[in-house]
Amino acid sequence: MTTVVFPGQGSQIIGMAKDFNDNFQIARSIFENIEDSCSLNIREIIFEDPNKLLDQTNFTQISVFAASVSIYKTLESLYDEAKLNINYMLGHSLGEYSALTCSNIINVSDSSKLLKIRGNLMNTAIEPNKSGMAALIGLDCARIEKIINQKNLSIEIANDNSPIQIVVSGLMEDINVSRDIFLSNGVKKFIKLNVSAAFHSKLMKEAQEKLNNNIDSIKFTNSNISIISNFNANINNNILDIVKSLKNQMANRVRWSESIKKLESTNENKIIEIGPGKVLSGLIKRISNSFDIISINSIEDLKAFE
């Protein structure tokens, strides 16, 4: 059995998946589909980025998605279903859309349209510089939550990434106030993230509701691949449950550690990370030592897979 995982925002790099676009028609067709669906020159942004758009949320999300899906569809075209033997898919934040697309629950065109809207909504949800996020290194989710409650901090856990890496979201003034409190209570590093707003928090509630109007218009299709959802870390193969979780994702915590522990409980032991970078592989190794993990983000990686 195999599980496929897809990265989220922060993994983007200029040139990601260019070798797939240059060498495989299936990858080119994915890029073309996304460009036509979104009326964006995605490949110019990803491969050249002349206008410095790749790190802007409203372009980052659709770009990482395009790179991830083009790589996965290439892999899928090279190996039959029995060889891949995929039972589960999951993704980190926007990566969940990659998982839903590569499992054929949402088609490429619909998913790319949703992500374009999602990126725009998240980028403009709150007045610039009013809110943000910070990564806390050294303590697990339970201990961070205890500090937040005991010190009555007005921030939220946005990403439970690993037992030693938690991301918090909130208004910038509250993020700033929390810094010294965390550092004096066991956090080893406090790193402000270069993001446009407090993602995966209640501050995204209005943006989430707007996105849900668009999610309601999308056709979801049953798949034999199960999805482990960010919102509740449950294994879902029922479309109603998948949609419900997706509708709650943007304004709630990404339960990545719980998701990997849930996967571990299935006795799954092989993971393929698809997309730019190897961020998720690093996080997963800190959560569990039960998995053999391979990352595929270049043609050279395909050879290693074989």
| Residues recognised as catalytic | 93, 200
Q: Which amino acid is at 251?
A: A
Q: What DSSP line would sit under 82-105, residue for residue?
A: HHH-EEEEEESTTHHHHHHHHTTS
If you write DSSP's letter for every residue of 228-291 in order, what string do you get? E-TTT--EE-SHHHHHHHHHHHTTS-B-HHHHHHHHHTTT--EEEEESSSSHHHHHHHHH-S--
How many Å apart are CA 281 and CA 82, to the nearest integer? 24
The residue with tokens 């209005």 is: 206
In the structure encoding, which two tokens stand for residue 2, read together?
A: 């195999």
Angle between helices 141-150 and 172-183 (to 10 degrees): 110
8 Å CB contact between 226 and 263: no
Scan for tokens 């050279």, then name that residue.
Answer: 300
Place of tokens 């490949």: 43
CB 72 within 8 A of CB 225: no
d(CA 221, CA 223): 6
Cβ–Cβ under 8 Å, residues 231 and 245 = yes
Distance from C-alpha of 195 to C-alpha of 129, rounded to nearest angstrom: 9
Rounded to whole angstroms, the Cα distance separating 161 from 286 reads 9
| Stated length of the chain | 306
